[in-house]
Amino acid sequence: MSLLKNIHGPDDLKRLSPEQFPALCQELREQIIGVVSNVGGHLASNLGVIELTVALHYLLNPPKDKIVWDTSNQAYAHKLLTGRREQFHTLRQYGGLSGFTKREESVYDTFNAGHAGTGVSAAYGMVEAREQLKQRHKVVCIVGDGAMTAGMTLEGLHHAGGLGKDFLVILNDNQMSISKNVGAISSYLNRTFTGEFYAKMREETGQLLGKIPHIGSDVQKWARRAEELAKGAILPGLLFEELGFRYAGPIDGHNFEHLLPTLDNALKMKGPVLLHVITKKGLGYEPAVKNPVWFHACPPFVRETGAPAKKAARPSYTQIAIESLVKLARVDKRIVAITAAMCEGTGLNIFEKEFPDRIYDVGIAEQHAVTFAAGLATQGLRPVVVMYATFLQRAYDQVVHDVATQNLPVTFCIDRGGLVAEDGTTHHGAFDFAYLRHMPNMVVMAPKDENELQHMLTTCIQYDGPASVRYPRGLTLGVTMDQEAKALPIGKAELLRHGTDVAIVAIGVPVSHAVTAAKRLEQEGISTAVVNARFVKPLDQDLIVEVAKRVRYVVTVEEGCKMGGFGSAVLEALSDGGVTHVTTKILGLPDWYVEQGPQDFLRERYGLTAEGIYQSVKELIGKTPASSRDVFTLAASIDHLPHGDEQGS
C-alpha cells in the first residue's frame, strides 16, 4: 500500500513511524525519477536529499518553522511532502510547478531561489525577523557544499555567527564519500556532542571556570581551545566554530538511525549550529550515481538506460562557441578560460581536455571570476569568462568597476542569453543587453547564427578592451561554417534585405525570424528591409539611420527585455540621427519575470517568431491611418499585461 498517496502535508508524515521512512523514501525516488525522465530537471541532487527532507518535515512544524533551501533545485521531495504530489507531473511545464521553491506556489516555500549562495542570508533574515517580532519557531537552511564556495554564503555565516541567535544550517555535502566506520564513529560522537546532557555540562563547566578569580577567563579559553583541538582531530569543523557556529558532523544523511537523533539534538541546541550531513548524489538510480554531473540538470531520458530521450540533430550554440575558442587558443597562448562551477554546463570541458592548465574553475564565485579575469588581463593574458547570462548579473559591479573602467581586454562569453525554457524566472537571460550596453568601453554583440558566432568570438579576442558575445540555449540553425574565423569591424551592422516601407532591425536569434517575416510581407506588397545589427554597442547608427530614412515604420526585435535594451538603443540612435518621421515598435520581453515553458512556446507567446514579427508589422501598419503616416511621430509601442496578471494567464 502506498505511503506517499496518504501524505498531503507534513502532519500526515508525522503519523508514520520512522521504521516506515525507508519505504516512503523509495516511493519518493520512484516518483521523482518517473517525472524527471519525462520532463527533465534536476535529478541527482534531489535523489540525494530525500532522507534529509523526510527527517526535516518529521521533526519540524512547517510552515510555522521555516525551511530555506539554498538554490532550491533540490526541493522536489519537499514539494511532494507539502501537498503538491498530484501536480508533480506538471513540474517545470508551462503553468505547472516550478523546478525551484516559489512563495507564490505554496506557504511551505519560504524563499524563491534559483542561484546558489542566497540561502544563509535569506534564512538569517528570517531569524532576525523572528526576534524582532518576538516569535518562537525554528529556522533551518540547507546549503550544498558547492554553495559554500559562494562569498555570500560566508558573509551570511559570519553575520549569523557573530550575533548568536538560534539558527540551524545544514551543510548538505554530496561531494565526498563516507565509509561505514567513519559513519558509525561520527554518528556516535555527534549524538554525544549534540545531546542535552553534553550541552548543559559544557555550559555549566564554562560558567564555573569563568568564576575562578584572576585566571578564570584564561582557563575558560584554554578549555575551549582544548575542546576545539580534540574535535578538530577527528572532525572538520574548526572553520565553522571560528565563525561562531557549533559544528556537528559529518553524519550519514541516508541513515535514519544516525540522522534523526542528531538532527533532533541539533534543533534543540541554542545559538548558531552547523550540521554537516554527507549525502550521495543520484542515490537510488544507478545512471545518476555514475554520472551525477549530467543528471544534475538533465533533459528527458530513457528511464531504463539513462540515455537522452532525443539525440541532437545539430550542435548547440554552446558547443560551437567553445570549439571556436579552442581553435583560437591553439594559436594564441594568451587565452585562458574561466568558469564559475559550470564547466560542463558552459561546454568548457571541451576546452579543459585540450588545455587543462589554461582553465580556472573558481567555484560559485562569479564576482571573483570577473575580477580575477581583470587581474589576468593586466598582465597581458586574454581571459575569457564563460558564464550564463543570468549568473553574470551577480558580478555586475565587477564588470563595471574592475573591467570596464580600466578598459581591460576581458572577453565575456554569455551563454543562455534570452529565453531558457523550463528553468523559468530566475534563469531567463533577459537583462544582459540592458545591463551591459550602458557601460562605457564595453562592446556588446550577438550573432544571427553559429557561423557569425565564431567570427564574433574572434572579434572579442582581438579587441583591446572588454567585449561580450551572447548566444542562446539550444541547437544551431545548421548554416555552412566558414573555414576561417575572422574579426568583424567593430560596430558595423549588416543589411540583409532592402525595403522602402518597413525596416526590421533585429539582433541575435530573431534575425532569421525577421528575414522569414520580411519575405512573407514582400509577398503582400510590403517592401521590408532587414538589418542584422550584430552589435548592441557600439550600434551602427549610420546604417540604421540611413535605412530608417527610406521607410515609414521601424520595428526592432530582440530576445531580451524591452526596457533599456537593444530596441531602446535603436530609438536613441534614430533620435540622435534626426529621424522623426517614422512610427516605431519594440518587440522583446516584457516588464515582468517571464514564466517557465518550452522555448519555442515562449517565443511564440511573446511575438518573437516569424509569425509574431509578421503580425506585429501588419498591426503597426494597420493602426496608423493613411492620412497620418507621414506625420512626424517617433513613438515606441510597448504593450503591457493587464494589472495583476503576472503569469499572463
Active-site positions? 281, 366, 394
**Cα 169 to the center of its chain, rounded Å:** 22
Q: Which residue has the cell 529621424?
A: 579
Q: Which residue has the cell 505511503?
A: 3
HEC sequence for 160-229: HHHHCCCEEEEEEECCCCCCHHHHHHHHHHHHHHCCHHHHHHHHHHHHHHHCCCCCHHHHHHHHHHHHHH
Residue pair 574/544 in contact by the 8 Å Cβ criterion: yes
Task: Order the strands of the 636-637 sheet from edge to edge.
Answer: 494-497, 528-532, 502-506, 553-561, 583-589, 636-637
CA 338-341-344 angle, 5° bins: 85
Strand ranges for 253-377 from DSSP E: 272-278, 335-339, 359-361
Q: Which residue has the cell 566558414?
A: 482
* SS3 assignment, position 302: coil
- DSSP annotation of 378: H
Give the C-alpha separation, 439 to 402, whole Å.
Answer: 12
346 contacts: CB under 8 Å, gap ≥ 6: 318, 322, 339, 386, 387, 388, 413, 415
Nearest to 597 by CA among 419, 391, 416, 388: 419
Residue pair 517/610 in contact by the 8 Å Cβ criterion: yes
Render 519-539 in DSSP notation, one character per residue.
Answer: HHHHHTT--EEEEE--EEES-
What are the backbone angles phi and psi of residue 149, rounded to the nearest 5°?
Answer: -85, -10
Element spanning 649, H or E: none
Give the C-alpha separation, 193 to 262, whole Å.
Answer: 9
Task: Kindly give the pairing relationship between strand 167-173 and strand 246-252.
Answer: unpaired
Q: How many C-alpha atoms does 23 have within 13 Å on its Cβ side?
A: 11
Measured from the Cβ of residue 584, the count of other Cβ atoms closer than 10 Å reads 22
Tell me the three cell numbers of residue 76: 522536489
Nearest to 484 by CA among 514, 465, 457: 457
323 contacts: CB under 8 Å, gap ≥ 6: 315, 350
Residue pair 435/396 in contact by the 8 Å Cβ criterion: yes
User: Counting beta carbons within 10 angstroms of the beta carbon of residue 632, is it exposed (0 to 12), middle (13 to 18) or buried (19 or more)?
Assistant: exposed
**Cα 51 to the center of its chain, rounded Å:** 25
Tell me the three cell numbers of residue 608: 518573437
Tell me the three cell numbers of residue 512: 532569421
Nearest to 266 by CA among 170, 185, 175, 200: 170
Give the C-alpha separation, 347 to 116, whole Å.
Answer: 20
Residue pair 350/322 in contact by the 8 Å Cβ criterion: yes
Put residue 41 in one of left, alpha, beta given phi > 0 → left and psi -120 to 50 → alpha: left
Give the C-alpha separation, 566 to 583, whole Å.
Answer: 17
